[in-house]
């Protein structure tokens, strides 16, 4: 039943103005509306009536506009485009929130630490850092999360659902945003630019990682040697120096390495791949560093100088070996007679005395 407002006024003109503006009142919550159709729509909140149904998934809505917006999920229509980065959105409010990333507008402030956010959702999520509240629980492993988005993302680890597929390489992703970021690899687009050096990146996380070069921020510290790193992944790789862990194994000779890049370089020994060629003598090398060292033969560049006799060397390890002439250091010891040598080849030659080997 539709009721008219029961407000009382001292002046007749005030009442007439009120009637003119919002004469239709909800009998449940007494909220007033200027148009009867708005009241009719509002009443569905109380009645639970949802007359507008999606023909694709049968989901129902109280307002036709909500159904229209929902249908874009099925059609893929994204009519609202950002004028800065050309990213498109299904609903206008998402575009408005996104635009704040470009304008830097942060209207939502934390009452505890005064930190500001571009979106209300960001503030709500941030507030959990003060309360420590984790109200969203995974039904599979009972792990708790501070925000619903984190729970939804976590659930994919159980379902393995990857509904977004790249049309170029057919790789699948759990999130549309991940697919959009991946597409930059094919298009070559680099929409994220560093404000300091103007270098551009295909992914936002690459830019954030790069920014630390300018800020000097190194939040990840090794608990063993206290060395700090800009990235957690770099710290994890560094820790292998202390733990001795070598998770990457060669399938040919079973030799293990602490880093994947070391294994990739090592595999060239078995495959015979030598992609780095000297432009002077056309000799090939498996590693770029070997080529760089080799080039000094042609350029005559000897950048490593002995502090004792001022002799120059093309390689640092050659200088280190040479220094034993001055220091008398003999790091190579015979396991049989304990005699020491300054050079490994001298030890190898000496061992023939014990083995009787006369190969050379």
- 92 in the same domain as 152: yes
Nearest to 346 by CA among 335, 328, 358, 334: 334
Strand partners, 248: 257
- 110 in the same domain as 54: no
pLDDT tens digit sequence for 292-330: 888 878 877 777 888 888 888 877 888 888 888 888 888
Q: Is 346 part of any domain? A: no
- 89 in the same domain as 40: no
Residue 2 pLDDT exceeds 50: no
If pLDDT is split at 50, 70 and 90, which confidence band does 14 have?
low
The number of distinct structural domains making up the chain is 2
- 102 in the same domain as 124: yes
- 64 in the same domain as 106: no
Q: Is 324 part of any domain? A: no
Averaged over 196-215, what is the pLDDT? Answer: 85
* β-pair type (284-285, 304-305): unpaired
* This model's pTM is above 0.85: no
> Of 159, 188, 221, which residue is a domain's last?
159
Q: Is 203 part of any domain? A: no
pLDDT tens digit sequence for 245-256: 888 899 989 999
**Judging by beta carbons within 10 Å of its beta carbon (0-12, 13-18, 19+), is residue 317 exposed, middle or buried?**
exposed
For 103, residues 6+ apart whose C-beta sits below 8 A from its C-beta are: none
- 145 in the same domain as 124: yes
- 67 in the same domain as 7: yes
For 228, residues 6+ apart whose C-beta sits below 8 A from its C-beta are: 218, 219, 220, 221, 222
- 113 in the same domain as 46: no
CATH code for the domain of 66? 3.30.160.60
- 27 in the same domain as 63: yes
Residue 53 belongs to what domain range?
A: 3-75
> Of 122, 140, 159, which residue is a domain's last?
159
> Of 142, 159, 176, which residue is a domain's last?
159
Q: Is 85 part of any domain? A: yes
Q: Is 188 part of any domain? A: no
Residue 177 pLDDT exceeds 80: no
- 102 in the same domain as 50: no
pLDDT tens digit sequence for 16-67: 565 557 788 888 888 888 888 888 888 888 888 888 898 888 888 888 888 8
Q: Is 155 part of any domain? A: yes
Nearest to 260 by CA among 272, 249, 271, 252: 249
Averaged over 337-350, what is the pLDDT? Answer: 89
Q: Is 8 part of any domain? A: yes
Q: Is 236 part of any domain? A: no
- 153 in the same domain as 89: yes
């Amino acid at each position: 039943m539709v009721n008219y407002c029961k407000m009382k006024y001292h002046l007749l003109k005030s009442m007439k103005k009120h009637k003119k503006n919002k004469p239709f009142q909800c009998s449940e919550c007494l909220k007033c509306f200027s148009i009867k159709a708005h009241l009719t729509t509002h009443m569905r909140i109380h009645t639970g009536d949802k007359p507008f149904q999606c023909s694709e998934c049968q989901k129902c809505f109280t307002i036709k506009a909500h159904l229209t917006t929902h249908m874009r999920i099925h059609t893929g229509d994204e009519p609202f485009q950002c004028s800065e980065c050309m990213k498109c959105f299904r609903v206008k409010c998402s575009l408005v929130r996104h635009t704040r990333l470009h304008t830097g507008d942060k209207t939502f402030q934390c009452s505890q630490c005064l930190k500001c956010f571009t979106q209300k959702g960001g503030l709500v999520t941030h507030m959990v850092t003060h309360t420590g509240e984790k109200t969203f629980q995974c039904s599979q492993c009972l792990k708790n999360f501070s925000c619903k988005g984190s729970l939804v993302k976590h659930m994919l680890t159980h379902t393995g659902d990857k509904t977004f597929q790249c049309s170029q390489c057919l790789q699948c992703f759990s999130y549309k945003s991940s697919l959009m970021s991946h597409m930059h690899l094919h298009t070559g687009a680099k929409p994220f630019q560093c404000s300091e050096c103007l270098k551009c990146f295909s992914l936002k996380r690459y830019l954030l990682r790069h920014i630390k070069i300018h800020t000097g921020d190194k939040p990840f510290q090794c608990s063993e040697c206290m060395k700090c790193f800009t990235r957690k992944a770099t710290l994890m790789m560094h820790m292998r120096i202390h733990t001795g862990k070598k998770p990457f194994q060669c399938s040919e000779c079973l030799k293990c390495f602490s880093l994947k890049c070391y294994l990739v370089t090592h595999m060239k020994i078995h495959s015979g791949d030598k992609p780095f060629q000297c432009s002077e003598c056309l000799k090939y090398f498996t590693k770029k560093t070997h080529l760089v060292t080799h080039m000094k033969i042609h350029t005559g560049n000897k950048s490593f100088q002995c502090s004792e006799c001022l002799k120059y060397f093309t390689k640092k390890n050659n200088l280190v070996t040479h220094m034993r002439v001055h220091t008398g250091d003999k790091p190579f010891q015979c396991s049989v007679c304990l005699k020491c040598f300054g050079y490994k080849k001298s030890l190898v030659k000496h061992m023939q005395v014990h083995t009787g080997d006369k190969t050379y």
